[in-house]
Structures are given as C-alpha cells and as structure tokens.
Amino acid sequence: MTTDAVRSPADGLAHHPLVGRPGKVIALHLNYPSRIAQRGRAPAKPSYFLKPVTSLAADGGSVERPPGVELLAFEGEIALVIGRTARRVSREDAWAHVSAVTAANDLGVYDLRAADKGSNLRSKGGDGFTPLGPELLPAAELDPAGLRVRTWVNGEQVQDDSSGTVVFPFAELVSDLSQLITLEPGDVVLTGTPAGSSVVGPGDVVEVEVDEPGSGRSTGRLRTRVTEGAEPLPEFSAQPAVDDHQRAEAWGSREAAGLPEPFELTDEIRAKLEKVAVATLSAQLRKHGYNELSIDGVRTNKPGSKLIGRARTLRFVPGREDLFRSHGGGYNAQKRTFDSLGPGDVLVVEARGERGSGTVGDILALRAQVQGATGIVTDGGVRDYSAVAELEIPTFSNGPHPAVLGRKHVPWDNDITVACGGATVQPGDVIVGDDDGVLVIPPPLLDQILDAAIEQEAEEEWIAARVAEGAAVDGLYPLSGEWRRRYEAERAEEGSQ
C-alpha cells in the first residue's frame, strides 16, 4: 500500500492504496442484464456520466438526504481504481492499467434528475454520494469476470450478482474510456449496478461488499448510514420534482413503489373491442369531446383484419447525413425498439407523413410478429410491402416505397410521446384499427365508451334490419319517438328470456 489517501471535503478515504487524489470518478449507466431488464432499454454501447471527486466518502460514514426529497436510492457497484495512465489502450491490455477493485455505493436523488437532463450532476454528485471501501483488492490477482457484488439494507440482502454477467466487460470499459479520455492513477470507474437498487431513508444503513467467491478475497462491507439534511435548497436552485415514473425507477418497480399497476388490456376488453367497429368507437369518442384521436392517412395491408393492442412508440427525425452516420447504423433506436416489443404491443411510428422511403421492412416486421406484437402503424412508407402483407400481423401505413430508411429518416428515440398521422400517441395508449382506419384511445376513456359502443352497434344492427324491411330512415336513424319505444321494448323482451 502507498501512504497516499483519497480525500473529500466530507470524509477521508484512509488506508486505500491509491496514487494521489482521484482526478475523475466516472460511472456507467447500465451494464447488468438484471438491471437492464428492469429499465426496459438495452444499451448498444456503454454510456457514462461524471461524479465530482467531492462525492467520495469512506466506509462507516453517513450520507445526507436533502430536505424535501423522497427518492434517495442506493446502487451497490464494483469500483475500479486506475493504477497506470491509460490512453488508447487495447481491450487486451486494459486490465493491466487497473490497480485495485473495491466496493462502491453510487447514491443518487431521483427527485433532482429532471434538473440535470441526463448529466446527473446534482442528482448523483452530492457530497458523500460515492462511498468507497473499506478494503481494496489487487486487480492483478483477480479475474474481472469472477467478482460478486452484494448489498444489504438494514441487514437484509437486496442485491447479488456476478461480474461475469455484465454486457460490457470491465477491461472493455477501461479501453473504451481511454480512447478519448486519459485515465490517470487514482481515477475511479464505477461499473454499473444489478437489479435490486431501491430507495432508502433517514436511519437506514446500506452495506455493499465485493468479493471473489472461493478465494477468500473480499473488500469487507462498505457501510453508510442515511441521515436527514437540515438545509433546504434555496429558491434559486432547482427544486425536487417527482412523478410516478421516477418513483418506479427509484424503487425498482411500480409494485415496490406502492403504485397501482398500469392499465391492462384484458381478454375481456379485447373481446369487446373485437365486436366494435372503429367507426363506432370514433362516434363515441366524439360524444365525449375527443375529435383528434384518429391516425389519418394510413391504410391496412390486411383488409378484414382487426388491430388491437397497447402502443409502443418510435420516432424518426428528418434525414440528415451527419446524424444518420451517428444514429442510423449499428444497433440503432429502430432495431432496439423492434427487439424490445412484447405480446400485445402495437408499434406506432412517427415518420411525419413522409412517404418517400420505407420505415419498416419484412425482416423487422417479422421480428415484431415473432415477439408477439399485434401490429404496426406508421405514417410513413413500407418496404417489401408484399412480404410484409403476408405476415400474420397487420401493418397500417402510407403505402409502399422501395427506398431504405436513410433516404428520408434518422431513427432517433423510442417509448416517448409521438405524433403519427396527426394524432398524439403515448406509450400505453390503446390502439384499435380496421378497414376504416386507426384510433388512439387513452386507457381511462375505455370504460366510458366501450359498453356504449357495443350498445350503439346493437342499435344500428336493429336499425339496419328495419331499413332492409323497407322502412324509411326518418325517425328511425337516429332512433326517436315510436321507433325508439319499439326498439327498447324488443330489447327488454330479449333480456327477460
């Protein structure tokens, strides 16, 4: 061990064989498959954020939860300590630049995430928000894929995972960072957290341990107690702000956060929607004051089929060569979205009504079908139109076009609010389509319109039968007067049988 120790304004990190004071603390967003599954998004490449050196703290210290916040979350992690300067090192040589491994707790306040817009400076950079320790393990004696990280809250184990499962191996992270950023002795790299991260409050004690099972090597437990802060943020600072999405992410799930589960499109609701025409649903929505829920300009490639499902969304921005080079190749937003579709999903694509290129082709449409999706809606074009039409699931589009995506579009982001065919669509909206077109139904409206739509269909079926018998439509359509009384009498008689 060297005699140098890492120091922060809040707590010193004594007994650590680090070379000088760290210049950088670099943290990885997502790495463990268990955590990625919780987040519902799979990173194509590693992405990082910086934590201030002043966030470092030692074993046995405390972390202050700022006044007025509710979502202080822990993240047990394996930390790498750089021992040799690394600049453009290869993956094969990168591990030799790591001096030691230790336990870390990547603490953060979800209430302040919105203020940082992804930088995490305030949400994860507070004093004491990166405890390290208590002991460091020599990296040269370790298998970087053979480490284990575990976390306890108040003595109950809540995290347990292996570095052998990570998407981005530790040496690859060091190599990747070194391509553009010189890593210097003492720098710390946090390698991501597994599932189990959740919220803690004043009085809770969080412990994190990293070990190499079977070897007896262990960092010991890194212990941090949560305390309540006394100094509120001044008015000129960004104030805490939370919503149910942040609560679910901080706690790890909606259930853990005590939130009701999102709307479920049950078999009973699906059966009712199967009976009702889109035109009838549109009429009922209009009666409730909703006139802008039609996705205009799209037509089905499978006449006679019904589309029912929950919206997943994908957004394309107008084509631009430099942006397509950075966002269009590899495992881009389009491919990631198709890979993440699940049973009952309908992919809704914002393509700005642009018909001058395809937005989906036969391979990705097949992928959607294999994943269990019930259909695709795009206000752009479709490549391989005939092959897509032969699939089991319907695709509603602006028509065929042979050009590839890059001619007009850049795949940008997914699972956000989008505009498709003049309608605003949010993830989770109910999508219903038939030969007349496609409707977007906010889930809370279903209870208000569905039974009324079924009744309207029954009424119109009865009216059509009378017209077929030769009756004039005056007073019959819509029902009024004597025709209304006759209809209600017949319905009552049917109900009593």
Percent of the chain residues topping a pLDDT of 70: 95
| pTM as predicted | 0.58
Average pLDDT value for the chain: 90
Mean pLDDT of 334-347: 92
The binding site for substrate consists of: 361-364, 383
Residue type, 347: L
CA distance 276 to 451: 10
Tens of pLDDT, residues 27-69: 999 999 999 888 877 888 999 999 999 999 999 899 999 998 9
What is the C-alpha end-to-end distance of the chain, expressed in Å? 90
Q: Is beta strand 56-57 parallel, antiparallel or unpaired with respect to 130-138?
A: parallel
Domain boundaries, the chain: 6-251, 292-441
Mean pLDDT of 258-263: 78
Please say if the pLDDT value at position 362 is more than 60.
yes
The binding site consists of: 361-364, 383-384
Closest CA to 350 of 301, 281, 298: 298
Please say if the pLDDT value at position 2 is more than 80.
no
Write down the pLDDT at residue 21.
66
Element housing 271 (H / E): helix 267-275
Mean pLDDT of 369-397: 96
Task: Please state which of the ranges 303-307, 339-343, 399-403 shows the lowest mean pLDDT.
Answer: 339-343
Write down the pLDDT at residue 158.
96
Residue-wise DSSP of 318-382:
E--HHHHHHHTSSS-HHHHHHHH--TTEEEEEE-TT--SSBS--HHHHHHHHHTT--EEEESSBB
Tens of pLDDT, residues 442-459: 998 998 899 999 989 888
Element housing 65 (H / E): strand 61-65
Percent helix / strand / coil, the chain, rounded to 5: 30, 30, 45
Does 292-441 match 6-251 at the fold level? Answer: no
Q: Into which CATH architecture does domain 6-251 fall?
A: Alpha-Beta Complex (3.90)
The binding site for Mg(2+) consists of: 384
Of the candidate CATH numbers 1.10.645.10, 3.10.20.30, 3.50.30.40, 2.60.120.10, the domain formed by 292-441 belongs to 3.50.30.40
Q: Given pLDDT bands bounded at 50, 70 and 90, which one contains residue 497?
A: low
Largest CA distance in the chain: 102
Please say if the pLDDT value at position 12 is more than 70.
no
CB atoms within 10 A of CB 461: 9
Please say if the pLDDT value at position 14 is more than 60.
no
Write down the pLDDT at residue 402.
95
